[in-house]
Chain A
Amino acid sequence: MYTYDDIDQRLVDERVEQFRDQTQRFLDGKLSEEEFRALRLRNGLYIQRYAPMLRIAVPYGLLSSRQLRKLADIARRYDRGYGHFSTRQNLQLNWPKLHQVPDILAELAEVQMHAIQTSGNCVRNVTTDQFAGVAPDEIVDSFVWCELIRQWSTFNAEFSYLPRKFKIAVNGAENDRAATYVHDIGLHALRKDGEIGFRVIVGGGLGRTPLIGQVIREFLPWQHLLSYLDAILRTYNRYGRRDNIHKARIKILLKEWGIERFRSEVEAEWQHLKDGPSTVKAEDIRRIEGRFTRPQYEHLSATPIVYSAPGFDAWRKRNVHPHKVPGYCAVTLSLKKTGVPPGDVTSDQMESVARLADNYSFGELRITHEQNLVLADVRQDELPELWREARNIGLATPNIGLATNIIACPGGDFCALANAKSIPVAEAIQQQFDDLDFLFDIGEIDINISGCMNACGHHHVGHIGILGVDKHGEEWYQVEIGGNQGETRPGAKASLGKVLGPSFARAEVPAVVEKLIDCYLAHRDSDAERFIDVVHRVGVEPFKESVYAQSHQRPAGRDRQPALA
């Protein structure tokens, strides 16, 4: 866990006072709507469908039990007793009151938390692999690099009013669990001749114009990380479009210029900045490393424990992950129980999770971009006990990586931008696959749902992606397949889904998903071939056919709701 020094603490404290003043000036009529909008957004405050929404930063998804208890307490006193973990590894409160937000921020500052730059046209919360620091395939501990970037980006004077939001992801392991190809900048740590560096990927992103990022530099030695980021951001700040919000992301500039020109502009800028004051020194890294508390692991046997119980084996198979230290493992607490909006957690659950973190995982946890929670340092021999406790609070659904582990944005139930609801669609799909044997037989598949083209539910990179669209004032759903967030295991690279065809009414969606899965099951060559592997091998056509060819017939098989005319 990163612990604040005096400077960190002073900055968040001063930020609270700054925002209190800005809110007061707005209420006094001294700041216009437009001005306050730009200021409140960079403090995570949106004005939403029913109430403001406050997005609280969880830097790189790392949280202490003390902080989680504070979040539970805040959600209970200032909100309706629950929060929503987002795909940006942050926590969103959907019902705070505008005039109370400065007080909420002051309480957050007491536990080294804030809402700085969780929205607005600035560098956002840096995200990373939820298994940072514990993964067996680790190259570097990405938390340290994320913190370096967090400090560089926080109140960065030059890059505080960018053309549009800016998202950076860092991956410190061999496999890419941070979706580096779909961020404005993705950094993938590499080791070359014993030296640490980063592959720099730029211009990826979802939203209305989804694009896979391109490699601008194959290997950037770590000392140059910040000066190179300066060069990219300065190029973007000066030349990114500001005339049209939908064309303002860095990916559009890259698309207009092409990677060759973009690279040469950045490299030319970098020649002036390289070896300058923003060069990273070994002592900078040591200083940041020194602010992280580390688990005091015990010397344990690496032999897997022998324990079996109905329900436990499935959970262990899906929700328990390998750890680099013998005798330990990482555990995902699923926030994807059928009937619960993906990512939602009640204050009571937060407090229970804080207790689990204290008892089983050194008082720390992580938020995943798939909207689950991870206890990263669990003793193997304590798994049965942890499983029983997690099950008692409804967080032991054995579905990590499976069809019911759906990513969904808050959608039309909460969000003012949404065309359609996403939560009821997620629930209907979860109900469709409530048979655990069938769920396990289908194997790994990512189903992602967004309520509008802004793509907060990452539908473009779902193996099956579902997008809410508005058709003459009605909610319809476009379905795409073949998207992939990245090379989470060797094989399928990051890719964007392809739209199957005309959209569907909400009631049809679960049956459509099931047809797609039936088609996959008919085509796979073995259990090891995942849905995404089959789509990449055989293409979209067979799937399209399976969905549209006999759409006039009532589908056979499981109990399904008839399609709306």
Chain B
Amino acid sequence: MPSLIKGRQVATANPPSPEGRVLRLEPADDPAQIAAALEGAARVEVHFPKFGDGRGFSLGRLLRERYGYKGELRAVGHITRDHLLYLERCGFDAFELRDGEDPQEALDGFKVFSVSYQ
């Protein structure tokens, strides 16, 4: 079971099933296809299949900025501490780390940069 970080804290690895639907986007998906279902969704998962596949960053921003999604936005897949700050800046607030990534140590990933240009 991969470990989970929520809102900059280590979360229980096996959280109780939430109310409502879990929506999931693969990197090539168009967020428009789930726009109508966003209201009432328990969470949206965006899949990052490879370390260097950055499509999900754009999907995160689109979900937040264009479709106004306010609920949990979870990055799943090949996620390490090196991605966390960027993911957070693109609107993600939950992170399922890849196997072997220590969640407690990974929290340092949020502290790497204290400022940003954008």
Contacts and interface: CB of A to CB of B under 8 A. Distances in A.
Q: Do A and B bind each other?
A: yes
Interface of A: 7, 10-11, 14-15, 17-18, 21-22, 30-31, 34-35, 38-39, 121, 151-152, 154-162, 234, 237-238, 242, 272, 278
Given A35-B80, A39-B82, A161 B112 contact: no
A155 B90 contact: no
A161 B54 contact: yes
Given A31-B80, A157-B86, A157-B89, A162 B113 contact: no
A234 B112 contact: no
7 contacts: A14-B113, A18-B113, A158-B61, A159-B54, A159-B57, A160-B54, A160-B86
A278 B65 CA distance: 13
A335 B59 CA distance: 46
Looking at A22, A160, A278, which has the most chain B CB atoms within 10 Å of its CB? A160
Interface string B71-99: 00000000010100111011000000000
A7 B115 contact: yes
Contacts of A18: 112-113
Given A35-B51, A158-B90, A151 B57 contact: no
Interface in B19-75: 51-55, 57-59, 61, 65-66
B117 A155 contact: yes
Interface residues of B, number: 27
B14 interface: no
A156 B52 CA distance: 15
B55 A237 contact: yes
10 smallest A-B Cβ distances: which pairs? A161-B54, A157-B89, A157-B86, A151-B117, A158-B57, A18-B112, A38-B52, A7-B115, A237-B58, A35-B51
Contacts of B113: 11, 14-15, 18, 155
Given A34-B51, A159-B54, 14 more contacts: A10-B114, A11-B113, A17-B112, A30-B100, A39-B82, A121-B54, A154-B117, A156-B118, A157-B89, A158-B54, A158-B86, A159-B57, A237-B54, A242-B55
A376 B100 CA distance: 53
B116 interface: yes
A18 B55 CA distance: 23
Contacts of B65: 272
A172 to B, nearest CB: 21
B82 A22 contact: yes
A416 to B, nearest CB: 20
Contacts of A159: 54, 57
Contacts of A38: 51-52
A38 to B, nearest CB: 5
Contacts of A30: 100
Contact of A157 (B51, B85, B108): B85
B58 A234 contact: yes
Contacts of B53: 161, 242
A15 B116 CA distance: 12
A159 B89 CA distance: 11
B40 to A, nearest CB: 24
Contacts of B115: 7, 10-11
A128 to B, nearest CB: 19
A30 B100 CA distance: 8
Contacts of A151: 117
Contact of B52 (A121, A157, A158): A121
Contacts of B57: 157-161, 237
A14 B111 CA distance: 9
A156 B90 CA distance: 10
Nearest to A14: B113
Contacts of B118: 152, 155-157, 278
Contact of A161 (B52, B66, B100, B114): B52
Nearest to A161: B54
A34 B98 CA distance: 14
Given A38-B52, A242-B53, A14 B112 contact: yes
Given A11-B113, A14-B113, A39-B82, A157 B58 contact: no
A408 to B, nearest CB: 30
A127 B52 CA distance: 25
A238 B117 contact: no
Contacts of B66: 272
Contact of A152 (B54, B55, B58, B117): B117
